[in-house]
Structure 1
Amino acid sequence: MTALSIGTMIGFAPTASAATPVCNGQMRVAVGSYNVWAPTNEAPWLTLTTNCVMRQGMAGMDRGAISALQYALRVCNGANGLANDGQFGPLTTQAVRDFQARVGISADGVYGPQTRRAMYWPAIENGRCQKIA
């Protein structure tokens, strides 16, 4: 495990040899003077990380995590009309794939650490789009 610092949230990220965990929650992440809701994984030992994975048909995903992703895709990342229904179905998969292609990363429709780093997230306080470092 390696230390992870995101804004004022500090947790541990899996090392490269460990599998990236499923997004099973969401949390408020400080980005400068703003906060955003982002998908997270909370392991049984209460280690929080935003380096988590979601894809269509994956077991264990949290509806709140999916909703946070859908909202960010719609508001800040060009997925106009994407429903915020908490279901990682074909429309969310296509929205993720379209975003990935637009920013030049592997367009596989899977939300993971590389996609999270490329995305913008709406600030809770004012809706302005922020990147999570």
Structure 2
Amino acid sequence: MSFRSSRSTSRVLTALGAMAALLACGVAVSPTASAAVYPTCNTTKAVSITSGHSVTVPAYGSSKTLTCKLVLNQSTENPAVKALQRSLKNCEGYSYLGVDGFYGPQTFLAVEALQKKYGLFQDGIYGPDTRDSMKHYSSTLGCARL
């Protein structure tokens, strides 16, 4: 095992351990005291970028609000995660990332690296700040920012 994969594995295991401890205690922690609570993205929304072109982004509910988040969770397949993975893979250079709809360790690490790239708080959670900073995939346009 290389140093890089050993380090990545260690980071994922540390993140998973911390998450398990928080869940076991029933405690929620946010990076700031005033951090907003957003619902979990569970669908997608086409957002118009230019005339006739749109990008697909994670969204929540029947109203398809864009104010939602995605966190490390491998238990359910989600179209919102697929949209995120497609954008990370095709627009942000994470070509190794699979598009399977599960927000697993690879997706978590890609989001964390993306957050570092754009100078955001590095928590591995896809939320409004990450959404607004990254490029999103469009089958007709390629990649574009909101």
TM bucket, shorter chain: 0.7 to 0.9
DSSP-derived class of the 2:39 partner: coil
User: More strand by proportion, 1 or 2?
Assistant: 1
Deviations 1:50-109 (A, max 9, x none): 1110001287x7611100000000111121210001110000000000010011001110
1:92 equivalent in alignment to 2:107: yes
User: More helix by proportion, 1 or 2?
Assistant: 2
1:29 equivalent in alignment to 2:47: yes
Deviations 1:96-126 (A, max 9, x none): 0001001100111000000000010122213
Structure-1 residue corresponding to 2:24: none
- Structure 2's unaligned 5+ residue stretches are 1-33
- Structure 1's unaligned 5+ residue stretches are 1-15
8 Å contact kept, 1:24–1:62:
no
Identical residues among aligned pairs (%):
33
Structure-1 residue corresponding to 2:131: 116
Name which one, 1 or 2, has greater alpha-carbon Rg.
Answer: 2
Residues of 2 paired with 1:123 and 1:56: CA distance? 24
Structure 1 residues 73, 41: closer, same or farther in 2, change over 3 A?
A: same
DSSP-derived class of the 1:48 partner: coil
DSSP-derived class of the 2:60 partner: strand
TM-score by length of 1: 0.76
The residue type paired with residue 41 of structure 1 is Y
8 Å contact kept, 1:100–1:115:
yes
